[in-house]
């Protein structure tokens, strides 16, 4: 650390601080997993099944990605819907 | 009835055997009758760290398989006479250990000892599970390093779900945190997890902090448990931890970086 750092308002982030933050996030998730089974595969299956009930979708065109964060995790399920030229939409026709 | 204490960590190389040897010796030095058992079948090392490697005749697997009696396999320490060592087998594999066999040994040892220390192998396989199964108390050895802290958290989960106490729905295994290889100089530089951070993450009571010390390697070179080196900071820290375990009020030491005086700055030298 140079003597100029002494005057800086904020100390630079240390690698130890990064270690703590990463540990807190990974352990928060692992502790949940300990008591509950891994529900993600089932969740994905069920959501896709619900969508498939209304829209004809290609099961090969389903993308699932997960980003585990500290305050918030995001689960993105991306399903390619067929274009207007594609299959009919049964759900809309019901009304 | 003896208390059964498992020394565990999940991760390998963090100081389980060093801590088991130091703790067992420290307890015996306080007049307790102690047996320390090596559960690392196939990779035994407690015998070397305790300096009894040349006196091993029978081991825990011989006893379980009825090839030797328990007191033929126990090795009495020549320095502290209330301390005995039960070595692991070097030639068999971990499947030679059975829950019934280990249970019988512990039951028999509990009759005339105060403490039975179980030195766990790394991992969460059979050897490690058996080492912790009968535990009343657990000393979780952790280095200030991400993979060690994560594995400690995992092993705490195993203690809470797979120990006999958990299965019998009895009072849970009493957990103690023992942080080893702590380097206050690196902590001060922000290069190593702080003690408070580890405590916050693992959230179990702190038994002791063993500073990184050259004396640990020196002690293992000669097969002398480091707690017998009264000059070394690690030896003193283990002695303090044993005291705390027995209910003494002992302040934690060696948590701050030593301010180097002019003399040591000029002539170098590190912690003993």
The alpha-carbon gap from B102 to the nearest alpha carbon of chain A, in Å, equals 27
What distance in Å separates residue B184's CA from the closest CA in chain A? Answer: 12
Q: A23 CB near a chain B CB, below 8 Å? A: yes
Whether A16 sits inside 8 A of B201 (CB atoms) is no
pLDDT at A12: 62
The span from the CA of A74 to the CA of B177, in Å, is 34
CA of B155 to nearest chain A CA: how many angstroms apart? 11
Mean pLDDT over all residues of chain A? 75
- Cβ separation B191–A15 shorter than 8 A: yes
B47 touches B38 (CB < 8 A): yes
The per-residue pLDDT string of chain B (272 residues; one tens digit each, 9 = 90 and over) reads 899 999 999 999 999 999 999 999 999 999 999 999 999 999 999 999 999 999 999 999 999 999 999 999 999 999 999 999 999 999 887 788 999 999 999 999 999 999 999 999 999 999 999 999 999 999 999 999 999 999 999 999 999 999 999 999 999 999 999 999 999 999 999 999 999 999 999 999 999 999 999 999 999 999 999 999 999 999 999 999 999 999 999 999 999 987 766 666 666 555 55
Identify the band that residue A2 occupies on the pLDDT scale cut at 50, 70 and 90: low
pLDDT digits (tens, 9 = 90+) for A26-50: 898 888 777 665 677 788 788 888 8
Compute the distance between CA of residue B8 and CA of residue B134 in angstroms, rounded to an integer.
13
CA-closest candidate to residue B180, choices B144, B136, B153: B144
Is the separation of the CB atoms in B59 and B89 below 8 Å? Answer: yes
Establish if A20 touches chain B: CB-CB under 8 angstroms: yes
Q: Give residue A42's pLDDT.
A: 80
Does A31 contact B194 at a Cβ distance shorter than 8 Å?
no
**Token pair belonging to B98:** 């059975």
With an 8 Å Cβ cutoff, is B162 touching chain A?
Answer: no
Chain A environment of B187 (Cβ under 8 Å): 16
Exposed, middle or buried: residue B191 (CB in 10 Å: 0-12, 13-18, 19+)? middle
Rounded CA-CA distance B256/B124 in Å is: 34
In B94-233, the DSSP E strands lie at 115-119, 137-142, 174-182, 206-211
Instruction: State how beta strands B34-38 and A62-67 pair.
Output: unpaired
Q: How far apart are CA B192 and CA B187, in angstroms?
A: 5
CA distances (Å), origin B2, targets A6, B29, B117, B188: 56, 17, 10, 41
Quote the pLDDT of residue A29. Answer: 82
Q: With CB atoms and an 8 Å threshold, state whether B191 touches A31.
A: no
What does the DSSP assignment read for B132-170?
HHT-SEEEEEE-SSHHHHHHHHHHHHHHHHHSHHHHTT-
Q: Is the pLDDT of residue A93 over 50?
A: no
pLDDT value of residue A92: 47
Q: Which of B73, B133, B62 is nearest to B96 (CA)?
A: B62
Contacts B191 to A, Cβ<8 Å: 14-16
Handedness of CA B218, B226, B235, B43 (dihedral sign): positive
Q: How far is A1 from chain B (nearest CA, A)?
A: 9
Give the count of Cβ contacts less than 8 A between chain A and B. Answer: 40
Are A24 and A69 spatial neighbours (Cβ–Cβ below 8 Å)?
Answer: no
**CA nearest to B191 within chain A:** A16
Mean pLDDT, range A82-94, rounded to an integer: 54
Nearest C-alpha in B relative to A34: B157
Positive or negative torsion for Cα B201, B202, B208, B211: negative
> Which secondary structure element, helix H or strand E, spans residue B36, and what is its range?
strand B34-38
pLDDT at A56 over 90: no
Rounded to whole angstroms, the Cα distance separating B202 from B18 reads: 22
- Give me the residues paired with residue B38 across strands: B119
Cα B152 from Cα A87, distance rounded (Å): 53
**pLDDT computed for residue A81 by the predictor:** 83
* B30 shares contact with chain A (CB less than 8 Å): no
* pLDDT attached to residue A95: 39
CB count within 10 Å of CB A62 equals 17
Tell me whether B135 touches chain A (CB under 8 Å). no
**Please, which pLDDT band fits residue A6 given cuts at 50, 70 and 90?**
low
φ, ψ (nearest 5 deg) of residue A64: -120, 130
**Cβ contacts of B184 within 8 Å, gap of 6 or more:** B211, B254, B255, B256, B257, B258
- Picking from B86, B191, B209, B79, the residue whose alpha carbon sits closest to that of residue B145 is B191
Q: How many residues does chain B have?
A: 272
The reply to whether B179 touches chain A by the CB within 8 Å rule is no
Beta strand B206-211 with B174-182: parallel, antiparallel or unpaired? parallel
Residue listed under structure tokens 């017998």? B228
In terms of Cα–Cα distance, which of B46, B51, B62 is closest to B7? B46
Please tell me which residue of chain B has the smallest CA distance to A1. Answer: B189
Identity of the residue in B150, B187, B191 whose CB atom sits nearest the CB atom of A26 = B150
Name the residue facing B190 among A14, A26, A31 (closest C-beta): A14
């Amino acid at each position: 650390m140079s003597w100029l750092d002494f005057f800086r308002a904020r100390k630079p982030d240390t690698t130890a601080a990064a270690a703590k933050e990463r540990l807190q996030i990974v352990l928060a998730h692992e502790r949940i997993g300990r008591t509950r089974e891994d529900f993600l595969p089932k969740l994905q299956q069920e959501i896709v099944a619900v969508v498939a009930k209304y829209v004809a979708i290609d099961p090969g065109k389903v993308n699932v990605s997960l980003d585990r964060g500290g305050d918030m995790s995001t689960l993105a399920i991306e399903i390619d819907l067929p274009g207007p030229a594609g299959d009919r939409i049964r759900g809309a026709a019901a009304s | 009835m003896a208390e059964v204490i498992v020394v565990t960590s999940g991760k390998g190389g963090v100081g389980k055997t060093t801590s088991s040897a130091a703790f067992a010796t420290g307890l015996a030095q306080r007049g307790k009758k102690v047996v320390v058992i090596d559960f690392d079948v196939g990779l035994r090392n407690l015998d070397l760290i305790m300096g009894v490697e040349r006196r091993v005749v029978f081991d825990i697997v011989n006893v379980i398989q009825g090839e030797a009696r328990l007191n033929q396999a126990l090795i009495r320490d020549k320095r502290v006479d209330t301390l005995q060592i039960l070595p692991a087998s070097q030639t068999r594999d971990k499947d030679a250990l059975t829950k019934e066999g280990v249970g019988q040994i512990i039951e028999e040892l509990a009759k005339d000892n105060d403490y039975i220390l179980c030195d766990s192998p790394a991992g969460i396989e059979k050897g490690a599970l058996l080492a912790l199964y009968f535990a009343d108390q657990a000393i979780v050895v952790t280095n200030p390093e991400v993979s060690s802290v994560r594995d400690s958290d995992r092993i705490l989960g195993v203690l809470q779900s797979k120990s006999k106490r958990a299965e019998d729905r009895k009072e849970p295994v009493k957990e103690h945190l023992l942080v080893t290889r702590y380097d206050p100089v690196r902590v001060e530089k922000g290069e190593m997890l702080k003690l408070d951070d580890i405590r916050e993450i693992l959230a179990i009571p702190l038994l002791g902090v063993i500073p990184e010390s050259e004396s640990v390697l020196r002690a293992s070179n000669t097969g002398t448990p480091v707690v017998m080196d009264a000059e070394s900071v690690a030896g003193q820290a283990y002695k303090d931890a044993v005291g705390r375990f027995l209910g003494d009020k002992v302040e934690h030491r060696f948590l701050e970086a030593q301010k180097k005086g002019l003399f040591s700055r000029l002539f170098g030298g590190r912690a003993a």
